[in-house]
């Protein structure tokens, strides 16, 4: 290890110890998970304490709702890209709390926040944080022509690396392609009663999907649709469970996300993925992006900006597209074609996510009343 690298590493260690005295305490909200960065304990570097590098330059704290197995290698690559001069301290979401766990933690921590960057694997609850005034408006390092629905009106968040809401069909149970479902609204068709499936629309992308429909079709119509689906479809706990129920033949088809659907296809199971609502008179397929946001009054704003811009780059979108979840790039400069995409171009639904998130508590209570 060269002298300069040693100095930066030890300086980061000293700063971290001073700023996070409960680093080894597993109950600490920021450090409940082991930090990604490597820490070098070099006794000879103790005199560097007086000249410790500013933490705004040397550390960044990120809360990530994207699964650790996907996010951690990317965050590690960010550290290596700067010769470990900027360390990443990451807290990951857990399956039991989904995205809401980290969102509620950010809300409860208030300002100033304990984290710098929030990496959400969906969008609606990021918009909630925007509306609460907890996110920092900024200019994102994205190409011109970035879709309007993939960046906040005030620049407080940026969408990238999306999943799509798709239909997954068991091709042994429905052999005739002309009989395949083609729309989300087919979930309410009586001919599919007990033969199709959907996740409970209380969390995650299913909740986001119907919040979006509320903003386009109106609240009364969307509640009527949800009631019809509840009475017609098999309601399961999550999108993964829907995909598995279809691939194992428990139901003929269902609506899920591309990341859950592609897993069943990769396993060689008899399924086909359909991007719904593609006819000219239909709404198009909804894509729900990952979102990035820098927290207002972030403790380490310089490092936070560097990490945020690194993550929305075409190279990171390509990396996520090549992974197991086959995520869909937003950047026009991305080079890799995700294997989950069909050969024909997809018509994407045009969405105002900020409108979809309006009056969320009242809306979610009404949905809960239908599905509790």
pLDDT of the residue at 179: 97
Query: CA 195, CA 189: separation in Å to the nearest integer?
Result: 10
- Domain limits, CATH 3.40.190.10, in the chain: 3-162+289-322, 164-287+345-371
Residue numbers in the chain where pLDDT is lower than 70:
1-57, 94-99
Write the burial class of residue 219 (CB in 10 Å: 0-12 exposed, 13-18 middle, 19+ buried). middle
Dist CA 172 CA 272 (whole Å): 10
Residue 143: per-residue pLDDT: 86
**Residue 297 DSSP symbol:** T
Where b means 16+ CB within 10 Å and e means fewer, 231-261 reads ebbbbbebbbbbbbbbbeebbbbbbbbbbbb
Q: What is the mean pLDDT of the chain?
A: 86
CA torsion sign for 211, 217, 223, 225 is negative
Domain spanning 164-287+345-371, CATH class: alpha beta
Q: What is the pLDDT of residue 57?
A: 54
**C-alpha angle 121/127/133, rounded to 5°?**
125
Q: pTM of the full predicted structure?
A: 0.82
161: part of which helix (H) or strand (E)? strand 158-170
Give, in degrees to the nearest 5, the angle at Cα 31 between 25 and 35: 120
CATH of span 3-162+289-322: 3.40.190.10
Size of the chain in residues: 372
What six digits make up the tokens of 322? 């090549």
Give yes or no for a contact between 165 and 210, defined as CB atoms under 8 angstroms apart: no
Task: Give the Å distances, CA to CA, from 24 to 16, 30, 114, 210, 322.
Answer: 11, 11, 16, 42, 35
């Amino acid at each position: 290890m060269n002298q300069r690298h040693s100095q930066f590493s030890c300086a980061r260690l000293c700063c971290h110890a001073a700023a996070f005295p409960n680093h080894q305490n597993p109950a600490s909200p920021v450090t409940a998970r082991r930090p990604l960065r490597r820490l070098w304990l070099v006794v000879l570097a103790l005199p560097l304490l007086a000249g410790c590098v500013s933490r705004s330059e040397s550390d960044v704290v990120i809360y990530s709702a994207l699964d650790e197995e996907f996010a951690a290698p990317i965050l590690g690559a960010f550290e290596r890209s700067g010769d470990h001069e900027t360390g990443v301290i990451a807290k990951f979401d857990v399956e039991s709390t989904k995205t809401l766990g980290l969102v509620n933690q950010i809300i409860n921590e208030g300002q100033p926040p304990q984290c710098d960057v929030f990496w959400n694997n969906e969008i609606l609850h990021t918009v909630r944080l925007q509306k609460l005034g907890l996110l920092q408006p900024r200019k994102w390092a994205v190409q011109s022509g970035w879709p309007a629905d993939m960046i906040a009106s005030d620049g407080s968040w940026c969408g990238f690396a999306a999943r799509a809401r798709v239909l997954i069909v068991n091709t042994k149970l429905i052999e005739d392609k002309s009989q395949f479902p083609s729309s989300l609204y087919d979930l309410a068709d009586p001919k599919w009663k007990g033969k199709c499936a959907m996740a409970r629309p209380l969390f995650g992308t299913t909740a986001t999907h119907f919040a979006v429909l509320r903003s386009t079709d109106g609240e009364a119509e969307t509640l009527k649709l949800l009631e019809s689906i509840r009475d017609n479809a098999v309601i399961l706990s999550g999108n993964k469970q829907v995909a598995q129920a279809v691939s194992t033949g428990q139901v003929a088809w269902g609506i899920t996300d591309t990341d859950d659907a592609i897993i069943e296809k990769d396993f060689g199971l008899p399924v086909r993925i359909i991007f719904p609502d593609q006819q000219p008179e239909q709404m198009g397929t909804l894509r729900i992006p990952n979102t990035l946001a820098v927290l207002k009054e972030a403790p380490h704003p310089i490092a936070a900006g560097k990490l945020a811009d690194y993550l929305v780059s075409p190279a990171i979108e390509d990396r996520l597209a090549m992974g197991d979840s086959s995520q869909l790039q937003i950047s026009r400069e991305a080079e890799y074609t995700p294997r989950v995409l069909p050969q024909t171009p997809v018509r994407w639904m045009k969405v105002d996510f900020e409108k979809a998130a309006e009056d969320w508590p009242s809306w979610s209570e009404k949905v809960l009343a239908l599905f509790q």
